[in-house]
Amino acid sequence: MNKQVFATTLREPSELVASGLAKAVDLADLEQVASRYAIAITPDIAALIDPSDPDDPIARQFVPTRAELIAAPGENGDPIGDDSHSPVAGIVHRYPDRVLFKLVHVCAVYCRFCFRREMVGPGKDSALTDTAYAAALDYIRAHPEIWEVILTGGDPLMLSPRRLRQIMADLARIDHVRIIRLHTRVPVADADRVSDEMVAALRVAGATTWVALHANHVRELTASARAACARLIDAGIPMVSQSVLLNGVNDSLEALEALMRGFVECRIKPYYLHHVDLAPGTAHLRTTLKHGQDLMRRLRGRVSGLCQPNYVLDIPGGAGKSPVGPNYLLPQEFPQEFPADDSESAKETRYRITDYCGEVHLYPPMS
């Protein structure tokens, strides 16, 4: 943990150098990164970074590096196809029964692997205009198949409680909207922002509120972060988690085990473990799918079912999320033990099932 006390959010490369979170020799490279991608490290997050550890898992998530200047093949500025599924400003309608509602384009902290890194940060439009907001609500009203609205951005908890209260009420007045989900980093990045007033603003008659917390390492679940989550949960707002599988951060069995157990201890159900999207300059933080599948297979045998996230890949171009965890069940043909006729070629399908120890078992024939 960092022994320094940080009073304000660090936003400039020179501030990172002065605070000891980056080296002076890297300043020129970091200025190039900052000219393209937003930087913000809150006091809560800065306090978690160990400057003496070159492989600190918190620093890898938030402190920029020159590796971000290198674009790998296949990377692009809209890796999951938000634009191609945006019928009106602020709305992404990729799945039939739910939409993303991108209210703001700012965050408390900026992750170095963000798939919307080309679209968020200072200098971008900070929030939807009143006209765009009204048009987005009209779109939701006009589509009765929309059962869930997911508030994202940016981070919706960057809005004031007063503004969030109005947004929640506007959505809850739409009869077919039954679920309002918020995706946020704020409880770990700026825990004090989750005030009683903020929590009250998220509860609304007519719809059920869910909050999805983004955290990638168990050290992010500090006492203050846990207290912020408890304020939400104690108020009747259920929480799930979303994490990103990151090279050098949580791509070990021990790190994933600790993180998922930490979520469950906080009464947060592990939900998604994302494979890193193909955003520009993120290759150094990306693992292989094979490694991710191996971790999920091994995690299955180590921790409770409560601790199992769904390992998913967002298909480039906007085709949506697909589970990419290990396959435990494979069909295989065998000669029938008791064929209905005398044919020697009669076959039956059994299934090869792999248990959490890697042992293979045969399941009986199935019709």
Is 229 considered catalytic here? no
Q: Would residue 23 show up in a list of annotated catalytic residues for this protein?
A: no
Concerning whether 357 is annotated as a catalytic residue, the answer is no
Largest CA distance in the chain: 83
Q: Spot the catalytic one: 37, 44, 102, 107.
A: 107
Which residue out of 36, 267, 321, 350 is catalytically annotated?
Answer: 321
Whether 141 sits among the annotated catalytic residues: the reply is: no
111 catalytic per annotation: yes
CB neighbours (10 Å) of residue 312?
20
Whether residue 94 lies in the annotated active site:
yes
Among 44, 60, 94, 307, the active-site one is 94
114, 229, 266, 307: the active-site residue = 114
Which entry of 60, 102, 116, 297 is annotated as an active-site residue? Answer: 116
Exactly one of 29, 78, 190, 314 is catalytic; name it: 314
Which of 98, 226, 261, 300 is an active site residue?
A: 98
State yes or no: is 307 an active-site residue.
Answer: no
Q: Is 95 a catalytic residue?
A: yes
Q: Which residue is catalytic, options 36, 66, 95, 267?
A: 95
Neighbouring CB atoms inside 10 A of 205's CB total: 8
Please enumerate in sequence order all residues whose Cβ is within 8 A of that of 361, keeping only pairs 6 or more positions apart, or say none. Answer: 352, 353, 354, 355
Catalytic residue among 29, 78, 111, 286: 111
Q: How far is it, in rounded angstroms, from Cα 204 to Cα 359?
A: 49
HEC secondary structure over the chain: CCCCCCCCCECCHHHHHHCCCCCHHHHHHHHHHHHHCCCCECHHHHCCCCCCCCCCHHHHHHCCCHHHHCCCCCCCCCCCCCHHHCCCCCEEEEECCEEEEECECCCCCCCCCCCCCCCCCECECCECCHHHHHHHHHHHHCCCCCCEEEEECCCHHHCCHHHHHHHHHHHHCCCCCCEEEEEECHHHHCHHHCCHHHHHHHCCCCCEEEEEEECCCHHHCCHHHHHHHHHHHHCCCCEEEEEEECCCCCCCHHHHHHHHHHHHHCCEEEEEEEECCCCCCCHHHCCCHHHHHHHHHHHHCCCCHHHCCEEEEEECCCCEEEECCCCCEEEEEEECCCCCCCCCCCEEEEEEEECCCCCEEEECCCC
Any catalytic annotation for residue 114? yes
Residues identified as active-site: 94-95, 98, 107, 111, 114, 116, 277, 314, 321
